[in-house]
Structure 1
């Protein structure tokens, strides 16, 4: 009898411990940066406090939240690395300011997340790159020895991430970079920099797949969104772009590498006073690659310089060693695209002589241009094979 009673108590104890461990693993614990020495005075460097909070949060076996409360925090360059023991959130309620001293901002990234799974970055706060102090240094188009200015927020080798309800302003370089990542969502985010700010791309991605960008507004001095080599399975829905250079694929093929992109969908987006709308650009250089399975549909253009453009003779800063691009573009659909063009040529397909664009489909295009003499919009096609369906304004050149 005593043995049975003892055995029963042991079983009950094991069960209780199991329940306690399970509950602990399911709990969310906050790691408030102020408890690690952060001071919200807008002057003190809080990078060490932020990193200490991250380190302990990353070690927590349950759900962890690095909590940045209301206030203005100066933060120097910081790298938040995993892997972590559980899902982790970086909750920004406050206003983060990047450094303005050249000795501190000559770095690749301001805020960098690396090797993290199940990451959330949110909170409604502001990331202020204070780029005005740095833009004069961003002269790489004419200075081969130009310094590397920092991206505001970069994700390297991150999986299952959600970035939402944030505001990024005045980045020194690109606002958000996604590299080597899988399954990343960016939603309900606002990105802004002056139209004349150099290289302030909104979101740039490379070597990543499963990227979703939705309900986001991007006003910047370069590409609103740029997709580079190795990108696939991208969904860009309900994005407002402008000013800026539009939503771009490329540039590709500059350095002779293999440059493949495929399975891209851009839908229900609007462009306002951008230099370009939906653009694919490849260098006239030896680089090889394939761009395929692209769908652009239900898109509104408002005073866009080049609403629809493929440029396989891309050369932003000559001299270039020009030769026919070896990047093959195929299976691209443009459907239900309307509005007004800022230039007479509303559609430009400047494809490669050695690898003509194949299987392009133009369906229900209506892009107006109101010139001084009443002339309408036109289209230009070089080395293109495809078909046109439905209404076409300008008259299709395919």
Structure 2
């Protein structure tokens, strides 16, 4: 072999060695992984090494067959590598006693901030152990709860290009997953679960984000399976199994007179089973802004209480919400190819503001019957305008 070929091979091997991803295992940084020892500091040290790695890609590993107890952590970016791989093979659990939740001022347990090119996967579990939060509040035991509100288990803030996939999420104190200001991101193949009576345990909450895909996931919680809040646009949701829970919701929007917007939403090929709602849009009186260009298509319903609902008088817990003249404008909403059963008589409910009408509603190929044999379903409309075709129950109330 001549000298030039030898030199080429040496240079190639050097390049491959330099370009190989560095792997930082939390056990190498002092983590014990017995489910009892506080491993927070070990995770923080591993993250610092990972985030400061200048290679083309770096990874942090949470190993299989171990359970890691960690308190609130801020995984701070930006990082030096353009690709950050956080591989969760084992289980991460939260502190069970609220008095030990130090550092939760961010409102999150596991917070990723300004980390672009982040990939989190591995098949492991994130368990928020939130049951104690669901039955108590900070006023129940003064001084014991160190968090102002129950924390979101896993939150991403300004993490563009995020890929979150193939994980199990259990029993968050509040929302399981939150995205805010995250663009061009994908969430997929998740298994999210909390008891049906656990309050405010949304599966996935999205706000101020654009170009986000959520697909092929099972979400069973005590609140919205997916909630799209202010600033959500160009969101594509497909192949979600939802139930129990409160359905897939746009909003709530317009609280305390806010100007809120949601647009460019597509929800397709989803199943709702035993949920409080199916396709829901909810706004507060007195707000402003818009919810528009939203499509729900190819939806399977099984024993859903409100299969199709626009609620512009949203007032949770019936807290005597006063009547307002302003409202978020709801327009260009499509419902196509719905089939299944409703556990309430009103299968289609468009309760729009009497001052700001809902317009451009389309119902096409809807077949929603009653869960109960011999009972009929009906449609209700209040200041709602649009068209319907091949719709059961008939939506003659939808004024052209």
Q: TM-score, normalised by structure 2?
A: 0.91
Partner of 2:30: 37
1:276 to partner: Cα distance: 0.5
* Paired residues of 2:303 and 2:371 also in contact (CA < 8 A): no
Q: Give runs of aligned pairs for residues 217-366 of structure 1, distance below 5 A.
A: 217-285=218-286, 287-317=287-317, 318-366=319-367
> 2:49 maps to which residue?
56
Classify 1:376/1:316 alpha carbon distance in 2 versus 1 (closer, same or farther; 3 Å).
same
1:118 shift after superposition: 0.4
Q: Deviations over 1:115-148 (max 9, x none)?
A: 01100011100111111122112589xxxx9931
Matching of residues 1-398 of structure 1 within 5 Å: 23=16, 26-62=19-55, 63-70=57-64, 71-86=66-81, 87-105=83-101, 107=104, 108-138=107-137, 147-285=148-286, 287-317=287-317, 318-371=319-372, 374-389=374-389, 391-396=390-395, 397-398=397-398
CA RMSD of aligned residues (A): 2.2
Structure 1 unmatched runs, 5+: 1-8
Deviation, structure 1 residue 60: 1.3
Tell me: CA distance 1:181–1:17, structure 2 relative to 1, closer, same or farther (3 Å): farther
Q: Distance in 2 between matches of 1:296 and 1:53?
A: 43
Relative to the length of structure 1, the TM-score reads 0.91
Q: Secondary structure of 1:35's partner?
A: helix
Q: CA deviation at 1:98?
A: 0.3
Does the CA contact (< 8 Å) of 2:271 and 2:299 recur in 1? yes
CA-CA distance at 1:324 after TM superposition: 3.7
Paired residue secondary structure (1:172)? coil
User: For the Cα contact (< 8 Å) 1:159–1:183, is it kept in 2?
Assistant: yes
Alpha-carbon separation, structure 1, partners of 2:273 and 2:187: 21
| Unaligned stretches of 5+ residues in structure 2 | 140-144
Report deviation, 1:325: 4.3
Structure 1: how far apart are the matches of 2:350 and 2:372?
21
Structure 1 pair 281/139, CA: closer, same or farther in 2 (3 Å)? Answer: farther
Cα offsets for 1:338-394 (capped at 9, x unmatched): 10001010000001111101111000000001546x2310000011111112x2110
Kindly state the Cα deviation for residue 25 of structure 1 after the two structures are TM-superposed.
5.5
Q: By how many angstroms is 1:59 displaced?
A: 1.3
> What is the match of residue 142 of structure 2?
none
Is this contact kept in 2: 1:92–1:126, CA < 8 A?
yes
SS of the residue corresponding to residue 71 of structure 2 reads coil
- Give the distance between the partners of 2:148 and 2:50, measured in 1 at CA: 34
* 2-structure distance, mates of 1:365, 1:252: 26
Matches of 2:137 and 2:369 in 1, distance apart?
Answer: 36
